[in-house]
Structure 1
Amino acid sequence: MNDKVIIIIPARYASTRYPGKPLAPLKGATGKVKPLIERSWDAAKAVSGVSDVYIATDDAGIAREAERFGAKVLMTGEDCANGTERVADALRHLDDLPDIVVNLQGDAPLTPSWFLSALIDEMHANPDVQMATPVLRCDGEMLANLREDRRNGRVGGTTAVFDVNHDALYFSKEVVPYTDDSYNADTMTPVFHHVGAYAYRPATLKAYHDWGVCELEQLEGLEQLRFLQRGVRVRCVEVEARGTVFWELNNPTDVARIEAELKRRGEA
């Protein structure tokens, strides 16, 4: 396949839960400190078969920082409701639209390259799939972390349930499906963690932008629910951790978790 693929990383300064999050410093294995947005850019640059990687933002400070470390920047409007809208808005700056747009959210610097490659492969193999997103089966340790966040009133990771075709039934910030079982740290569970990345066709992105915010999206604070409420299938692509730990930077308490994994991976 000769489909042109680009990655866009949406980043905004005014995060409700963590203002200034894209510029949050994260220390790597050597003690070197890089901002969150740069570590997410590093993750995107590691994906093969991608024509370009862009950072999409409405904030001049984030744009300056991105240009400092060599990223291409697409400035967006200030009224983008979420990352998907920001990615859609960024496309208007491109003269040559790609065939596939990958959205790597700026708070997911631990995203392994094969997670995004799996999305791209799914879109290549199935031209009727309009968007896809990765899901990771939780082991007992990850499920315990999700449950701990909810017990303490924190919004941690998102979970996903899907049908036999791997098309999403629902996404939630609650831990779904419900299970009261206890699991050993390395035991696989029936809960799937939704990974903060998407692949779309450009026409589907435009439609998303034109629809406006929907009720489920507002209630859960999950942008992908706009697709489900509008009847667009969301393909869930199961990926494997391969010994890595995946965690997004949702709250300041996640910094220590992410830095520990950067150190374990030996990432500078």
Structure 2
Amino acid sequence: MPKTQNGIQYPGPSDTHPSAAWWQTLATSIDYALRSGDEAVKAQLAALGVVVDDLGVHIEQDYLLKAEAQEFGIAGPPNVLGIGTVTPGETADAEIRGESPSQLLDLTLPRGLRGVPGPGGAIGLVETEDEGMFVESEQFAWRWDNTVGKRLLVREGADERMVWGDTGWRDMSATLIAENGWTGVSTFQIRRVGDQVFFNLWGLTRDSNASGTVGVANLMPDGFRPPISVYGLIPTSVYTRFYINVAGAFVLISPPTLSFCTVSYVTNQSWPTTLPGTPA
């Protein structure tokens, strides 16, 4: 590289550095200041980090390199921008803090629009002391009730409804008392599953003096009665007619010995508040 009269090297025309001419001018100016003592030139050099005085030349290298970069856009160290704080707010905002090459980006973000509802979360189970399991999610709650048979209820908001229930078989034999020549009632059972009612009857006979009918008023309790009178035939050695009316009366007409029968029908009554008879 060429040198000034005082031995200071500076870039020559063959140097391909983008700021070669700038460095050449700087070296020439330093050389001139040393020779002439020109205060104006010294002041210009001092602004670039080069001090020329009676003791010689003092160069602040970092300052000088920064001056070069500012003059010619020479790339400095890469900046690292990290995420600082993220806070909610009414309006969106962003702020960069810190000094290059290590800075932080602080963000203020407003609440976005509500998204499309996702699938329901995992169902949780909560055990209660007197009513079995309580099953709950964000959309609904299931309750398993054991107080009147077994029931499954669903609650949506403030509304609760039964979706399934089973009273189990209940023994009503003690309530069916044979009269007018009818004897031998061994078993009478009743059961409700959902809105379907079932009953079993067997061991009923009549003697030769029987009047031909046997009836029991209010045999079918609330929660088990049909919406309209139910009529049917029971196939035995001859057909036995029966009916159950809306008041719960149960009547058999002209049966011979009745060994066994099973009858079912649909009810529209509310679920019973108590269970009749005893567990079968």
TM-score, with length taken from structure 1? 0.23
Q: Looking at CA atoms only, which structure, 1 or 2, has the larger radius of gyration?
A: 2
Instruction: Compute the TM-score of the two structures, normalised by the length of structure 2.
Output: 0.22
Q: Give the structure with the higher percent helix.
A: 1
Q: Which has the higher strand share?
A: 2
